Structure 1
Amino acid sequence: MKINEDSVDDAVLALLWLTLHDGHRAWKGHDWDVLGRLHEKGLILDPVGKAKSVVLTNDGLRRSEKLFKALFTNAPKT
């Protein structure tokens, strides 16, 4: 089975929005390969380190909220 990594990345980014705290931080309990790809795409800062959370960039924050609403709510699609 071929996995669509972009779709997986979108789902994880949406889930990061669910665990947001302190403005731009989210718990990083997700697959390391996905977090690495999100970092390469400029949506989160480097996830490597002792912190238990990652920092979303401004683009990552906007996109994560949009994806969360599209994937997990009944809000109108934009």
Structure 2
Amino acid sequence: MDFDVIFYSFGEQLMPIFLGMRQFSTQKHVFITSSSKNAKALKRFFEERKETNEYFQINTDYLHSYRSECF
């Protein structure tokens, strides 16, 4: 099943995000993060997966953090 957008809550465990991205097809993955867990940490995690798995093809060039004051 394809989705338009999938939202992930980025917390202590990164593996559920990794597995969700591999299992579900979507045009856009959106990560909801906190100030302590941001796009840099997520990008580092994905880059490590690329080094250990030649089939892991996620473009990390578009991972960015945006600060929101809504909470």
Q: Which structure carries more strand by proportion? A: 2
Q: Which structure carries more helix by proportion? A: 1
